[in-house]
Amino acid sequence: MDDDEFLDEVRRLLPGLVAAEDPALEVLEVVVVDDRPWPRVAVSFRLRGSPPAWWRGPTSGVAHAPFGADWRELMAFDVPEDYARMLEDEVTRAAMRLPGAPTPPPTAEQVRERWPWLLERLALSGPVVDQGDGRLRVTYDDREVTVVVTPEEWARIAEPYDELADDPQDFHPQRDEQRFLVFHEDRLTWSVREQLPPVHGLADLIRRGREARAQDSSTGWFAYAPLESPPRVEERDDEAARSHAEAHAEAHDELWASARGRSVAEVEEMLRDFAGTFAPYLRDIDVAFSARVMSDPRWGRKHPVAAVRLAWAHRDERSPYRSLRWLWRPRFAG
């Protein structure tokens, strides 16, 4: 399939995906633009109907994403369905910015004020060396990562989501191969390479998960059938225990790699299959909350009203305040 055919299929899929995620949004146009050194897709969208009385922002906007065939291959977005899901996420993200006033360029004073905060935050992970060329070297326990951002670029990102947070988790790569944190589209993104656009390095895991789902609609890539409990520990010998643990780790990695960008319903189904084999202790509340942040780590921030409703619906099992805090900054054990 060439680029034109690929884009035509994305154009067919994207409006339905966006409408399913947020019925208030409508996709208008999907075109390729050449406003970067690499090709990008521009998705024009608008709000359906009349905005509420309190609305003060624009009612239409544009979302962007890289489109080069080489980049799509490196990111495992070489299938129109997966690329369209990624675009749906970008449209939702762009729509969340509509109500706010345009951010003016940072002043020289703001650049000076905000740069030390980034250095201090990175220093929580290890020694930081400012090379003065738009690169910061951060030495972790057993490796070194490079943050590619200038003081002016960082000032455009402005303040972190949680100004009181003092942990460095936002600056921790998901995988060992991700040794670069690069400034891209007004945010910092982990990448396996310094050049733009960034590449997350999860393509192999995503493709394995995709192939497994294609072979078995129940995502049967676990050691046991879905909803079937694994053998009790005392009933297995050491070799079986080790094999089960290895299968658990591999399945867990594939689950996380495959979940990002998928619909909440799909991830919930995947989680239930996983729980039936490896985590029978998972409750409905665990599945409901985990599926949302696995699909989109910023789900709670992007859907605050839905987050409140979800937290309230499970108030008998967990404090709504605690649930909301978890959705805002999710934590996972193990």
Q: Of the candidates 288, 293, 231, which has an alpha carbon nearest to the alpha carbon of residue 260?
A: 293
Cα–Cα distance, 259 to 270 (Å, whole number): 8
- Residues with Cβ within 8 Å of 72's Cβ and at least 6 positions away in sequence, in order, are 66, 78, 83
How far is CA 222 from its chain centroid?
A: 24
- 226 pLDDT higher than 60: no
The 10 Å Cβ neighbour count of residue 161 is 10
pLDDT per residue as tens digits for the range 169-185: 457 666 788 899 999 98
- Matching residue, tokens 């690329």: 83
Cα end-to-end span (Å), the chain:
41
Q: Say which residue, 160 or 180, is predicted with more confidence.
A: 180
Check residue 227 and give its pLDDT: 36
Q: Distance between CA atoms of 181 and 217, rounded to whole angstroms?
A: 36
The whole-number pLDDT of residue 13 equals 97
DSSP three-state, residue 125: coil
Q: What single letter denotes the amino acid at residue 95?
A: A
Query: What pLDDT was estimated at residue 149?
Result: 94
Mean pLDDT lowest among 22-26, 100-104, 238-242: 238-242
Region 214-221 average pLDDT: 50
How confident is the model at residue 242, as a pLDDT? Answer: 54
**pTM exceeding the 0.85 threshold for the entire prediction:** no
What is the predicted pLDDT for the residue at 83? 95
Query: Taking a C-beta distance cutoff of 8 angstroms, is the pair 41, 65 a contact?
Result: yes
pLDDT score for 103: 73
Kindly state the tokens that stand for 302. Answer: 């992007």
Nearest to 184 by CA among 72, 81, 90, 297: 90
User: Which phi and psi angles does 286 have, rounded to 5°?
Assistant: -65, -40
* Predicted pLDDT of residue 307: 77
Band the pLDDT of 225: cuts 50, 70, 90.
very low
pLDDT at 64 over 50: yes
State how far the Cα of 72 lies from the Cα of 6, in Å rounded to an integer: 11
More confident residue, 187 or 42: 42
| Comparison of pLDDT for 201 and 28, the residue scoring more | 28
For 76-82, which contacts have Cβ atoms below 8 Å and span 24 or more sequence positions? 76/202, 76/203, 76/204, 76/206, 76/207, 76/210, 79/210, 80/1, 80/6, 80/9, 80/10, 80/13, 81/13, 82/206, 82/210, 82/261
| Six token digits for residue 271 | 């989680």
CA 73 – CA 78 distance, rounded (Å)? 5
User: Based on the number of CB atoms within 10 Å of its own CB, is 162 exposed (0-12), middle (13-18) or buried (19 or more)?
Assistant: exposed
The secondary element (H helix, E strand) that includes residue 120 is helix 108-123
